[in-house]
Structure 1
Amino acid sequence: MAGAAPRPSPVAGLMAATFLGVRHHSPACARLVRDTIAELRPAHVLIEGPSDVNERLDELLLGHELPIALYTYHRDGERSHASWTPFCDYSPEWVALTEGRAAGARVRFIDLPAWHPAFADRDNRYADAEVRYAEAVDRLCREFAVNNVDTLWDHLVEAAPADGLAERLDAYFDLVRGDSAAAEDDRAREAYMARWVRAAVAEAGDHPVLVVTGGFHTPALRALTASTPPLTKGGVDLPDGDVDSPTDGVGLPAADIGLPTDGVGFPEDGVDGDGWPVVPKIADRAGASYLVPYSHRRLDSFTGYQSGMPSPEYYHWLWTDGVEGAAARLLESVVRRLRARKVAVSTSDLIAARALADGLARLRGHDHPARVDVLDGLTGALVSEYLDQPPPWTRRGPLLPGAHPAVVEMVAALSGDRVGRLHADTPAPPLVSAVQAELAAAGLDRDGVHRLDLARPDDLHRSRVLHRLRVLDVPGFSRESGPRGGGDPDPVECWRITFHVHRDPALIEAAAHGATTQEAAGAKLAELVPGAELPTLSALLFDAVLCGVAAVSDRVLGILADEVGRAGDLESLGRVLADVLSLWRHDRLLGAAGAPALGEVVDAAVTRALWLAEGVQGGPAPAERGRLTALVALRDAVRHASAVVGVTAESAVAVTRRISADHRVPPDLRGAAFGFGWSLGFPVDAVDAVRGMAAPATMGDWLAGLFALARDEVLTAEGVVAVLDEVVGALAEEEFLVALPALRQAFAFFPPAEREAIARMLMARRGVEGSARALLRTPVDPAVLAEAGLLEAAVRRVLVREGLA
């Protein structure tokens, strides 16, 4: 056997259980599990994993292509939670499951179900506990002069000789666990797993029992099973301090680990009729577990998964080819990827990389280059420039933006493209078949571009199906164009449907929300509502309308009506008002036009927006398009929604007149406030207002506000363009350069056709003939021309001063 046998934990008067503490997804640990089973031939193999899946182990062992994962979801009135229990070919838990079954052992998972509150703070069962108890790991990293726990693990375990591996693992995990108290969730899990161990030892008699769990839990399980007598079966009296005791001998009440204490439906001692611990159950409608295809990319800690083992493809090679073979495969894969990206990698580069890797391996005490030896060798040979961030294998966490291209390809090679596949007989949740049937019935079960006219009922139904899949994050359904709001006049949507290998996994995971697309999309949107800010609520409302989920729309509207009355940001409130108003006015395609609940939101938003606008203070500042858009939405609501808005147009204009006359208000908002009443048809003296604009530094900002609200009025009112020409023309060269950037921003509110119309007016005033369009398309930036004019004027002044003019 490779490595010494794991040490047993004695239980008085009974055959000892043999504990294997492992690191999840470790090839070296998987080999140790395989060899231990072959040597020990245990009667029971107990594995850290969800005990509620024990009755479905045949489903787990149908013959899938790994990686796969058990996906568990749970919903109740208090919380919604989803988690994964992933397996790959070299997961020690998977090897224990398959090799134990092949050896004739009775194989069981012994951990609490994934929906249990002990897993409330994690979405992955096999996230390494050593990350949470890192003091000892940091001390070991300093002792062995390595950067992080992954490099440390490779040095101590994966790249080290197999002899003595079990002892090294025991020493490592004893040190990681230390004397510190575990967290409450870990203690609950360990107390429950210890029950299974004691029951198996009692059942096995003279036959061995093998326990395979994360190494962090192993010291506690040894202590729990050594200090507490084992479970017995058949109603035999249990000694004090065992599961019949209120605290299970470890200070944890039975209720703390999810076991019943009232005896309703279960024996009071927490064991079933055969003496095994009771498995907590969950109501069918509250949650379920399904197998899903997984991928190496999702397993990789470089892409954010906290499994503790980065580089899953490398460790797959390590499992199949050993340390030396994995190094060669990694080098070959990186080079192939770089060359496919048109990055030149010469033979001499390869020789240098291999030589560096071999040298680093010898320096670090490795018989063959380990993962980091190869990566450092490749970096030294292929990257000649300075790296502005450390390589990801020197720390923990995902690849950061801006990484060197060679480093990106190294990480891609480490992750690999391996994707799991489920056996054809694997049960799937109802949503998967429901979506297949719905797509087929709607004619959306073929790849390609689909154009949908939302004015047609059949196409509107198809659109809602596709939007529900989009909301559920099911890949392969991409909306390329279509209405972006309730007031969008375009009734045509364009979707691109493509096959995606992750479609079925995404549907299985989306089944946590419901059994049909409408139910699932509605539940997904509803989960996003609590705590959402105003712009998000507005987007959720439009999504709910697109999906045809009326219940969510009503809920969002109820919250919006309250939230807009408390809004503190004019820009956010303006976006919401614009969205809701457009739905109320125009949404006959999607069925929301004129809805009373929408009208309530519009009314509340108008009142609050006027209050916020009058409270804006501040000196000169650049024009803010967001608050100008808010004034436009406010104006449109007063103009078009008077039937539901309690504020009259006269009252609203009175507020904006006070704003336009208050010089403590930023100039863009004062200009917009002036344009507010003008655009609603109230009499104003626009010529005097333009002539009395602010100083050159703020002139453009005031005009930006005016143009945002009263663009049509500026173009059609007599004398306004002329007085604008007078005011701007009267500016000195220096003043014009100061005003120019903001003036350009202001005139950008006019579309090209209207800018051309203004150019024609100005040319007519000067008696100039020619193309107004050409005037707008000068070959040189107007700002450069203005600066050139200023320079020429300065030169003239110098020439005059020196008598050289």
Structure 2
Amino acid sequence: MTTRSTGEPVLLGVRHHGPGSARAVRAALEQAAPDAVLIEGPPEADELLPLALHKDMRPPVALLAHVLDDPGRAAFWPLAEFSPEWVALRWALEREVPVRFIDLPAAHSLAMTAEEEKTEEEKTEEGKTEGGKTEGGKTEGEKAEREADEAEAPDVRIDPLGVLARTAGYDDPERWWEDVVEHRGAGSGEGADALAPFAALAEAMGALREAYGDGGHDRDPVREAHMRLRLRDARREFGDNIAVVCGAWHVPALARRSTVTADRQLLKGLPKVKAAVTWVPWTHRRLSRRSGYGAGIASPGWYGHLFSSPDRPVERWMTKVAGVLRDEDYAVSSAHVIEAVRLAEGLATVRGRPLAGLTEADDAIRAVMGDGSDAPSLLIHDRLVVGELLGEVPEDAPAVPLQRDLARSQRTLRLKPQALERELELDLRKETDAGRSRLLHRLRLLGIPWGEPTRSRGSTGTFRETWLLRWEPELSVRVAEAGIWGTTVLSAATAKAASEAVGAASLAEVTALAEQCLLAELPDALPVVMRALSDRAALDADVGHLAQALPALVRSVRYGDVRGTDGAVLRDVALGLAERVFVGLPPACTGLDDDGAAEMRGHLDATHQAVGLLGQLEAGARPEDGTPELRSRWAGVLRALSRRDDAVPGLIRGRAARLLLDDGQLDDGEAERLMGLALSPGTPPADAAGWIEGFVGGGDGGMLLVHDERLLALVDGWLTSVPDAAFTDVLPLLRRTFAEYESGVRRTLGELVRRGPAATTRDPAGGASGTSEAGGTGGEAAAPGFGPGLDRDRAAAVLPTLRLLLGTDQDGDPARPTARRPDSDLTGARP
């Protein structure tokens, strides 16, 4: 074993988040036994370093620095279990060796980042202005030169590992690093010099710095000047027996001789802000991105495995893979594991690698365990190669008051943050689930999207909610930002809701905010929101705005009843809003172009749904029967729209007729009469096509045509009579309408159209006569339209099953089903 020369600090150049570097740092520290350890990191965090030994501290974690006056301006310094900085930090704390951070303070780096962003914005604005001037040709040369500089800019910031990998003949820096460092057998044996690899790496980096200077990293000279000053201070305090753990790129700059005056001159006049630093949980998935140190790694899970399993890593990895695949019901046995290990090692030998790496392991998994399919490999990449590990931070770590209140709420409600996305079903009739719902809604109002509401699969009742939860490290910054509104989640959400209500720009925004206040149970904010809502509703005369605001308001009333909150005020406002929509909607539907008609159709649908809910919740109404008054007035509005042939677009008239039909408000044959009028020869084809789109558009419109073949006959007859000159104009509308149908519905309609209308006649009494095309022995004549009549033999075949389902006797069955209409597809459907 060789010994280092005395009188100089030990400079340990590392790759951030590299398990090989982490093991090498531990061995070097054991050999050098320094009196102090200096680590690349923000000096403001020195007081937080002892928390790294806390029993509740579990990496991956990160140091979070943010501006006190603007928490959204923040930076992270992530550390994993296999990060060299984390290993050095733990080594020093366990041996009570002084340890400090020496990088540029976060107060300066955050301020410099803000100035750089501002400068970029100014350059962008200048570029826009100059772009306008180049039209005269005066600055075309300058513009071309600037574009050329921008095109070359990405190549200026060099990747040291990429340069070394290309020099060694590798096209993949990750693969080169694995072969040279992670799979390096030498240097770890007994009697080897643990400092030799760092000396070789420092020599390589020295050559790169001579060739590339700062490599395009403009801030590095300032950072390195500060690190040299901190190193001088440590040498005066602890002597020369000091170890410095930093990025290998900085080693030549720290070893270079420089005067104190020159270094201080570089730091003179740096911008500065007030910053706060704390520990926050991090995830392996975030380590796979460029963040913090700017050294994102593609496979944090794999690197963590290499660090925790230095012996037989491939065998242990394949065992983990087999466990994951078995949990997903893949048939993987121990024989698969053995064969996969052999194949991975064989591939490494053929490819000239010292040990099997992640590439060989993936190839073996795909061939042996996946039978050539990529599905298992993609699953393993997500679960193991990257991983979803979420670190933990002790409660003793500094935090804003809002963060502490959130942590208390999470413990009380047993709602632990997790990095893996999971689905949470809530029953609002239970107090714990109701509390969870309130917390998640309050956080969403504060701009902290820990949970996203989604559609419930098991029930459509209003007492049930479904959330998708996933905790991202960036949410810690959101919590710090939201701290300006209050010290607790409740007070912060209340203050922000009141502020947004006052500053809302539209009525829809206020109604959506009222809904959020009820869902989040913010009683102190609701009066402010209601005052703003009343003011906006009284002043806003736009029917579209009123119709857009009504659904959210009605949902608020509905949810208020479910959650036990007082929604009487909201109910009164909703009723008043509905009355104004009823009065203003018919005039607002006249004189609209195609885009305006499409938008108004959406308002029509939303108002119809809102009226259906509001009719049951109107003051004094019983839920079982509702109040016919509100619905009858709305039905009158729809009748007026469906019968106005002057200036109301066909899309609106058709939609109004369809809504009346769905509510049972049209008399027998009225829908056919309206369609016949809309598709009469005197109606312009484009307007008729719009009527069809409004009436049978949407996913359920096709079923209406399938089951009501008279309407299908009317559509078919109109379509065949459209003149050739107008057909190309109406074709896009028809394609858009029928494209929304499911494939099975389209196929059934195609079969009906291909078969053609049934040949029938009517007797003077108005009854149908003729012969059936069904072929059954007691067949009935078909009604005018498509399809055969009732085939009694085929209909009788289902009667035993119906009796079994209904539990009725075969004889004297009082509940025996009968066909509603002889031409209904329910009795004459094709098999």
TM-score range, shorter chain: 0.5 to 0.7
1:23 and 2:15 equivalent?
A: yes
Q: Equivalent of 2:346, from 343, 359, 374? A: 359
Secondary structure of the structure 2 residue equivalent to 1:211: strand
Cα deviation, residue 26, structure 1: 0.9
2: CA distance, partners of 1:190 / 1:603? 70
1: CA distance, partners of 2:293 / 2:263? 38
- Flag the 1:700–1:119 CA change in 2: closer, same or farther, 3 A: same
- Flag the 1:353–1:449 CA change in 2: closer, same or farther, 3 A: closer
- Flag the 1:701–1:49 CA change in 2: closer, same or farther, 3 A: same
1:629 and 2:602 equivalent?
A: yes
* Preserved CA contact (<8 Å) 1:537 1:560: no
Deviations 1:296-324 (A, max 9, x none): 455445999975233334323322432x5
TM-score normalised to structure 2 length: 0.59
- Mean Cα deviation higher: 531-540 or 541-550: 531-540
Secondary structure of the structure 2 residue equivalent to 1:227: coil
Cα deviation, residue 414, structure 1: 2.8
2: CA distance, partners of 1:566 / 1:139? 64
2: CA distance, partners of 1:185 / 1:573? 54
2: CA distance, partners of 1:184 / 1:567? 57
Secondary structure of the structure 2 residue equivalent to 1:692: helix
**Alignment correspondent of 2:86:** 94
**Alignment correspondent of 1:309:** 297
* Preserved CA contact (<8 Å) 2:280 2:476: no
Cα deviation, residue 519, structure 1: 3.7
* Preserved CA contact (<8 Å) 1:51 1:112: yes
- Mean Cα deviation higher: 305-314 or 130-139: 130-139
Secondary structure of the structure 2 residue equivalent to 1:80: coil
* Preserved CA contact (<8 Å) 1:478 1:496: yes
Q: Equivalent of 1:48, from 40, 48, 67? A: 40
Secondary structure of the structure 2 residue equivalent to 1:333: helix
2: CA distance, partners of 1:777 / 1:304? 67
List runs of 5+ in structure 2 lacking aligned partners: 117-153, 188-195, 417-422, 616-633, 722-730, 743-761, 769-779, 781-789, 791-816
- Flag the 1:587–1:69 CA change in 2: closer, same or farther, 3 A: same
1:228 and 2:200 equivalent?
A: no
**Alignment correspondent of 2:72:** 80
**Alignment correspondent of 2:358:** 371
* Preserved CA contact (<8 Å) 1:25 1:92: yes
**Alignment correspondent of 2:677:** 692
Deviations 1:445-467 (A, max 9, x none): 9x99875469x9x9988853453
Secondary structure of the structure 1 residue equivalent to 2:234: helix
**Alignment correspondent of 1:393:** none
Q: How many residue pairs were aligned?
A: 650
Secondary structure of the structure 2 residue equivalent to 1:170: helix
* Preserved CA contact (<8 Å) 1:74 1:512: no
1: CA distance, partners of 2:643 / 2:293? 57
Cα deviation, residue 118, structure 1: 4.7
2: CA distance, partners of 1:546 / 1:630? 24
Deviations 1:404-446 (A, max 9, x none): 223312542334565545557666664566457668989999x
Deviations 1:663-686 (A, max 9, x none): 9x6x4245348899999x9xxx99
* Preserved CA contact (<8 Å) 1:480 1:494: no
- Flag the 1:92–1:200 CA change in 2: closer, same or farther, 3 A: same
1: CA distance, partners of 2:113 / 2:440? 33
1: CA distance, partners of 2:246 / 2:491? 38
Q: Equivalent of 2:383, from 412, 418, 421? A: 412
**Alignment correspondent of 1:759:** none
Secondary structure of the structure 1 residue equivalent to 2:366: helix
**Alignment correspondent of 2:482:** 513
* Preserved CA contact (<8 Å) 2:51 2:57: no
* Preserved CA contact (<8 Å) 1:297 1:303: no
1:318 and 2:312 equivalent?
A: no
Cα deviation, residue 327, structure 1: 1.8
1:166 and 2:215 equivalent?
A: no
- Mean Cα deviation higher: 138-147 or 19-28: 138-147
Q: Equivalent of 2:177, from 153, 169, 175? A: 153
- Please tell me the residue identity of whatever aligns with 1:543: Q
Q: Equivalent of 1:468, from 420, 433, 442? A: 442
* Preserved CA contact (<8 Å) 2:507 2:533: no
* Preserved CA contact (<8 Å) 2:78 2:293: no
Cα deviation, residue 470, structure 1: 6.5
* Preserved CA contact (<8 Å) 2:156 2:216: no
**Alignment correspondent of 1:198:** 232
2: CA distance, partners of 1:176 / 1:301? 25
2: CA distance, partners of 1:440 / 1:628? 47
Secondary structure of the structure 2 residue equivalent to 1:255: coil
* Preserved CA contact (<8 Å) 2:344 2:364: yes
* Preserved CA contact (<8 Å) 2:72 2:481: no
Cα deviation, residue 74, structure 1: 3.6
Equivalent residue runs for 1:189-588 within 5 Å: 189-205=223-239, 207-223=240-256, 226-229=257-260, 239=261, 241-243=262-264, 248=265, 250=266, 252-256=267-271, 258=272, 281-282=274-275, 288-300=276-288, 307-322=295-310, 325-345=312-332, 349-385=336-372, 404-415=375-386, 420-422=391-393, 430-431=401-402, 434=405, 451-452=427-428, 464-465=438-439, 467-468=441-442, 493-494=463-464, 510=479, 513-514=482-483, 515-521=487-493, 542-549=515-522, 575-576=548-549, 578-580=551-553, 583=556
- Please tell me the residue identity of whatever aligns with 1:212: V
Cα deviation, residue 108, structure 1: 0.5
Deviations 1:340-362 (A, max 9, x none): 33323456644543333223323
2: CA distance, partners of 1:442 / 1:347? 42
Cα deviation, residue 92, structure 1: 0.8
Cα deviation, residue 45, structure 1: 1.6
1: CA distance, partners of 2:821 / 2:203? 81
1: CA distance, partners of 2:11 / 2:533? 54
Cα deviation, residue 54, structure 1: 0.9
Cα deviation, residue 544, structure 1: 4.0
1: CA distance, partners of 2:555 / 2:511? 12
2: CA distance, partners of 1:190 / 1:614? 71
Deviations 1:357-394 (A, max 9, x none): 2233234443322232322333343444475xxxxxxx
Cα deviation, residue 509, structure 1: 7.5
- Please tell me the residue identity of whatever aligns with 1:705: G
2: CA distance, partners of 1:708 / 1:67? 55
1: CA distance, partners of 2:492 / 2:506? 22
- Mean Cα deviation higher: 307-316 or 461-470: 461-470
2: CA distance, partners of 1:59 / 1:188? 29
- Mean Cα deviation higher: 732-741 or 333-342: 732-741
List runs of 5+ in structure 1 lacking aligned partners: 9-14, 123-129, 230-238, 259-279, 283-287, 388-403, 642-648, 712-720, 748-761, 786-805
Deviations 1:203-246 (A, max 9, x none): 344x23322222344444445xx2232xxxxxxxxx5x453xxx
2: CA distance, partners of 1:21 / 1:582? 60
Deviations 1:586-638 (A, max 9, x none): 9674658459999999999999999997686459x9x96x6522234578999
2: CA distance, partners of 1:71 / 1:598? 49
* Preserved CA contact (<8 Å) 1:481 1:493: no
1: CA distance, partners of 2:540 / 2:350? 65
Q: Equivalent of 1:702, from 691, 702, 707? A: 691
- Flag the 1:47–1:744 CA change in 2: closer, same or farther, 3 A: closer
2: CA distance, partners of 1:630 / 1:778? 32
* Preserved CA contact (<8 Å) 2:344 2:356: yes
